[in-house]
Structure 1
Amino acid sequence: MESDSGESTFVAHVSSPGMTINVLDNPVWHALAGPHRHHAIGRGAARHYARDIAPFSAILHPSDQAYADLAADLPVGTEARLFRPTEEPLPAGWEDLGRFPMLQMVATRTPEGGGDAVSTLSSANAAAMLDLVALAQPGPFGRRTPLLGRYLGVWKGDRLLAMAGERLRVPGHVELSAICVHPEARGQGHAARLVRRLMRLAFENEELPFLHVRPDNRPAIDLYRHLGFEIRRELMVLWRRPR
């Protein structure tokens, strides 16, 4: 939908008796229980992505049963990486491997500027994408991560200089992720061009773009604010595994 100013303001909530839950407070769960359910592994109150797609797991709510469900299908030799609204107590029988805050930013307006010259990436570009990720270190990105959505890139000859794409998809929203630029090509506006294009595609699809960024990554936060994102809230990323 559009506001009086013509800017997209599409927001989705999940309702239950007596309360309204914003799906962005528990984005991995609402992705795997919703638009990404065909990627979901799990049962009851817990879900996982296959680890070559994304290293994330989710619980609907913190409870002994939810953590029992989480442990039942956790891929062997891995931990559960959970995006949670708060720093929740460690349940009995689980080990704390670490935790850190993550800012969640949501687009508040369509980006300024005209069409940006970027290329669509496909599975044929997987090797180039993985090579760029290894250099730029944008965060988790696996061999099959591109299955989650559209990925766009900027090329110089046969070398991929920059890319960005879509990762979590929850009702009414799409997360922008893997935003990265080759170290030798930074400062040339590649990230901004890619993010602007993905934002426009999201708004055209009546989805609200959002993303996650570390609180100490000030250059990225400043860029995203310039493009029309604002901080919505802080989430906690909890790394846990059963003992």
Structure 2
Amino acid sequence: MTSVDASVLDDPFTEALAGPQSHFARRLGRISTFDPEVSVFYGHPREMTDQDYSDMATLTGMGRTASLRDRRTPLPARGLRLVDKFDLVQYDGSNVTPAHDPEMLVLGPSDIAEMTALVELTKPGPFLPRTIEMGTYLGWRDADGRLMAMAGQRRHLPGWTEISAVCTHPEARGRGLARRLVAAVADVIVDEGDRPFLHTTADNPAARLYESMGFVLRSEVDLEIVRVTGD
């Protein structure tokens, strides 16, 4: 692979919204976020001011939540409430071996209902009505035509594309489908001229799978879910 700038991975939400996926962006001041039907993540400075928090609340809307990565300043005393926090780990997939897999089918708009049901069952992370527009999604169907596993592309940064929504129906686990899908999505990414990366949570057992495929742990930061309360 050709040399690429890995520093864009330090703030992937902002880089995606300012670059390759700017057509999905909504902005106010220094805050940016995806169209709410596409993704839940926000681009923001690590050191946020009162104005930044106010702009974030305006973009988010009353009663709704924002996902903030690596925030380093306290929330205001009023108006916002921390709902949840995760250890978000990031993996560099430069050393992963991509592999085309003819059994993995490209998924499209007609598959969204099945994809959403699979995500709701397996909980790999957010998947919204227009998330599929973020990139190529591949899936595996059983002999009865049921969608039993999938993975796809989420954030696009200069030189990098994120693998996301890796999930397998409980009835299909133990067949190596996640490994095959990750390698197949990586093959699409490399063919498009980018390098793969991905995020997961620190307590996700799938991290062992990713490391066995050659993904290298790059960072671990807080991912916080913050609700706009207005009080």
Quick check: TM above 0.5? yes
Aligned-partner Cα distance in 2 for 1:210–1:50? 22
CA displacement at 1:175 relative to structure 2: 0.9
Which residue of structure 1 lines up, in the alignment, with residue 163 of structure 2? 176
Aligned-partner Cα distance in 2 for 1:234–1:90? 21
CA displacement at 1:158 relative to structure 2: 2.0
Identical residues among aligned pairs (%):
37
Aligned-partner Cα distance in 2 for 1:204–1:114? 10
SS, match of residue 90 in structure 1: coil
Which residue of structure 1 lines up, in the alignment, with residue 211 of structure 2? 225
Aligned AA (1:162): A
Which residue of structure 2 lines up, in the alignment, with residue 194 of structure 1? 181
2:193 is aligned, of 201, 206, 221, to 206
Aligned AA (1:82): L
Which residue of structure 1 lines up, in the alignment, with residue 222 of structure 2? 236
Q: TM-score, normalised by structure 1?
A: 0.85
Number of positions where the alignment pairs a residue of Structure 1 with one of Structure 2: 226
Which residue of structure 2 lines up, in the alignment, with residue 44 of structure 1? 29
Q: TM-score, normalised by structure 2?
A: 0.90
Q: Which runs of 4+ in 1 moved over 6 A?
A: none
1:28 is aligned, of 6, 10, 13, to 13
Which residue of structure 2 lines up, in the alignment, with residue 89 of structure 1? 74
Aligned AA (1:78): R
| Residues 1:92 and 1:23: Cα distance change in structure 2 (over 3 Å) | farther
Aligned-partner Cα distance in 1 for 2:100–2:25? 37
Q: Which runs of 5+ in 1 are unaligned?
A: 1-7, 14-21
Q: Deviations over 1:188-226 (max 9, x none)?
A: 0111111101112212222121111111113x1111112
Aligned-partner Cα distance in 2 for 1:73–1:59? 12
Aligned-partner Cα distance in 2 for 1:158–1:113? 23
Q: How does 1:102-181 map to 2 (within 5 A)?
A: 102-111=88-97, 115-156=101-142, 157-181=144-168
Report the RMSD for the aligned CA atoms in angstroms: 1.9
Aligned AA (2:113): A
